[in-house]
Amino acid sequence: MPEAEIERLMKHLGETINETVADSPKINERIQEIRDAGYEVFLVIEAKIGFSRKGRADEEPDRAATGEPVQLRITAEDAKFLKSLKISANKTL
């Protein structure tokens, strides 16, 4: 599939997610409750969408499934969040 087609499909998915959230009565009720309490509401939802081609023979095996070590890269913000949960990000498993 050409890259332009994938980009079009991803854009369509993002638009659908936005419409779904905007049209959700439950979300709109909660936002209105916050507004009624005297606050302005800013809702930012970040979605990470990944995809890969199905049935490729040259795919890398899932290292977690094979028992091989997996290196996790985290940002300073990730480390701060983990620390707030009392999770150390400095240890190697």
Least-confidence region, from 23-27, 28-32, 73-77: 73-77
- Going by pLDDT thresholds of 50, 70 and 90, the confidence category of residue 34 is very high
More confident position, 84 or 59: 84
What is the residue type of 1? Answer: M
31/36 Cα distance (integer angstroms): 9
What is the residue type of 32? Answer: Q
Residues in the chain, total: 93
* Domain locations in the chain as residue ranges: 3-54+67-84
Q: Which helix (H) or strand (E) holds 7?
A: helix 3-22
State the pLDDT at residue 30. Answer: 92
pLDDT digits (tens, 9 = 90+) for 36-83: 999 998 888 777 777 777 775 555 555 556 667 767 788 888 888 888
